Amino acid sequence: MHDLATARYTNGKSQDIKAGGGVYFTAGADYRVSPEFSIQGTLNFHVDDTNADNGSIKFKRFPVEVLGYYHLNNQWRIGAGVRYTSGAKLSSSGAAAGLNVKFDNAVSGVLEAEYFWTPSFGMKMRYVNETFKKSGYEDVKANHVGISANYYF
Residues 18-71 have pLDDT tens digits of 888 889 999 999 999 999 999 999 999 999 998 888 889 999 999 999 999 999
Q: Which residues partner with 97 through β-bridges? A: none
Q: How confident is the model at residue 1 (pLDDT cuts 50, 70, 90)?
A: low
- The pTM (predicted TM-score) of the whole model is 0.91
| 41 strand-pairing partners | 29, 66
Q: What single-letter DSSP state applies at residue 104?
A: P
Q: Do 64 and 44 contact (CB within 8 A), yes or no?
A: yes
Cα 82 to Cα 88: distance, rounded to the nearest angstrom: 17
118 beta partners: 121
Structural domains present in the chain:
3-151 (2.40.160.20)
